[in-house]
């Protein structure tokens, strides 16, 4: 257990340092790639028969694997989009390489102020709240299970997943707004600091955790592959956030 904790902490520190060192595009691609591997892993599990002795994480109920395969394809395309889209870089004043035929590109940053820090703190808290609040719908108490909520577990779990997706999407938008803060010397300061903080605490892997909790629930007979894949689709807004916060190649990191 101690060795696993040390490895997890080491990976977190290395990821954050790589962001601060200017390797944002590569690290973002690796993080999105983890979502692809997670989707393929769950798809493979649902291809195996329930209770298969060949799998260490065998499922206790059958399900369909195509939603996870579709999600893996979408995330793989987003990795390609990450390398295809090149954000505009800042052009210093007096650069004679730019003429009327090549107009000056505008920078996308704002002077760093308290509102950016408030958006950062509020976004992180709301991101965590979006995970913990739906848990009450995914795993209701015994009293709630005996009530009308327990008679329709599929709808209850689906509502929880929708709340989860909408919540993390709003939180990621707040973090994206926070990432626009910068200084004249380093216009893209928050574009490296916010993703570094986001990944150091493994917040990018929250959709994988949500899908794991839904698949391996306390009630083995309640396995909803499509709803679990929808929860794992939270990697799509996470990937969008990682793509949009990549600073231009020529910017200071």
* DSSP assignments along 104-153, one per residue: PPPP--EE--HHHHHHHHHHHHHHHHHHHHHHHHHS--HHHHHSHHHH-H
Show Cβ contacts of residue 113 under 8 Å, excluding neighbours closer than 6 positions.
Answer: 181
Confidence of residue 50 (pLDDT cuts 50, 70, 90): low
Residue spans per domain, the chain: 2-87+110-244
Q: Which residue has the tokens 């929250």?
A: 206
Alpha-carbon distance 151 to 38, whole Å?
31
DSSP state of 104: P
Q: Which residue has the tokens 């739906």?
A: 134
Alpha-carbon distance 158 to 24, whole Å?
34
Sign of CA dihedral 6, 11, 12, 18: positive
Beta-carbon count within 10 A of 240 CB: 17
Sign of CA dihedral 65, 209, 140, 138: negative
Per-residue pLDDT at 250: 57
Per-residue pLDDT at 51: 61
Q: Tell me the average pLDDT of the chain.
A: 81
Can you tell me whether residue 88 is helix, strand or coil?
coil
Alpha-carbon distance 11 to 183, whole Å?
29
Expressed in angstroms, the distance from the first to the final Cα of the chain is 35
Helix, strand, coil distribution of the chain in percent, nearest 5: 65, 0, 35
Q: Answer whether residue 64 shows pLDDT above 90.
A: no
Sign of CA dihedral 201, 206, 209, 213: positive
pLDDT tens digits, residue range 102-127? 444 455 778 888 999 999 999 999 99
Alpha-carbon distance 32 to 27, whole Å?
9
Q: Answer whether residue 22 shows pLDDT above 50.
A: yes
CA-based nearest residue to 189, from 253, 118, 249 = 253
Confidence of residue 34 (pLDDT cuts 50, 70, 90): very high
What's this model's pTM, rounded to 2 decimal places?
Answer: 0.84
Tokens of residue 249, six digits = 């190649």
Dihedrals phi, psi of 233, to nearest 5 degrees: -65, -5
């Amino acid at each position: 257990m101690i060795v696993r904790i040390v490895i997890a902490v080491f990976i977190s520190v290395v990821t954050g340092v790589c962001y601060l060192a200017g390797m944002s595009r590569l690290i973002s691609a690796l993080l999105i790639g983890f979502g692809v591997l997670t989707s393929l892993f769950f798809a493979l599990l649902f291809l195996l028969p329930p209770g298969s002795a060949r799998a260490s994480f065998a499922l206790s109920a059958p399900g369909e694997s195509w939603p996870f395969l579709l999600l893996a394809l979408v995330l793989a395309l987003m990795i390609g989009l990450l390398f295809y889209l090149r954000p505009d870089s800042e052009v210093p004043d007096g650069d004679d390489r730019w003429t009327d035929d090549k107009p000056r590109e505008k920078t996308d940053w704002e002077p760093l102020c308290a509102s950016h820090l408030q958006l950062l703190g509020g976004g992180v808290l709301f991101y965590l709240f979006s995970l913990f609040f739906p848990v009450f719908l995914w795993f209701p108490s015994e009293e709630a299970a005996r009530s009308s909520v327990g008679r329709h577990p599929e709808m209850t779990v689906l509502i929880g997943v929708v709340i989860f997706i909408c919540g993390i999407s709003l939180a990621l938008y707040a973090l994206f707004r926070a990432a626009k803060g910068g200084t004249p010397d380093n216009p893209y300061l928050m574009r490296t600091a916010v993703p570094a903080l986001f990944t150091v605490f493994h917040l990018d892997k929250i959709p994988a955790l949500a899908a794991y909790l839904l698949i391996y629930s306390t009630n083995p007979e309640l396995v909803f592959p499509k709803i679990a894949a929808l929860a794992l689709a939270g990697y799509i807004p996470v990937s969008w956030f990682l793509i949009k916060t990549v600073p231009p190649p020529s910017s200071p990191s």
